[in-house]
Amino acid sequence: MDSHIIDLYNEYVHKALPRRTFIARLARLTGSVAAASAVLPLLERNYARARQVEEKDPCISVGYVTYRGLTADVRAYQARPKQGRKVPENCG
């Protein structure tokens, strides 16, 4: 992929470039709006495809934690490798 396209995408993500401006500039780089639309899915992250681990996986420890926020306590769900392990793939 052209480095100009990657640089443009980085500007869009990290420097708050408006989406309309991003698409217009991407269309100029790719030659058309149709080509820009075809390239866009290759650039964007697909969070739905992120790896998920089962809650009962023996390699991870899961549960709720509470920590102090600015105005009140915050409750969050936490999943992490069990103590002594680096990542769940090392389990076995």
Q: What are the pLDDT digits (tens) for 24-72?
A: 999 999 999 999 999 988 888 776 766 677 767 888 888 899 999 999 9
CB hemisphere CA count around 37 (13 angstroms): 3
Residue 65 host element (H or E): strand 60-68
pLDDT band at 7 (very low <50, low <70, confident <90, very high): very high
Contact 63, 70 (CB under 8 A): no
CA distance 40 to 38: 6
pTM above 0.75, yes or no: no
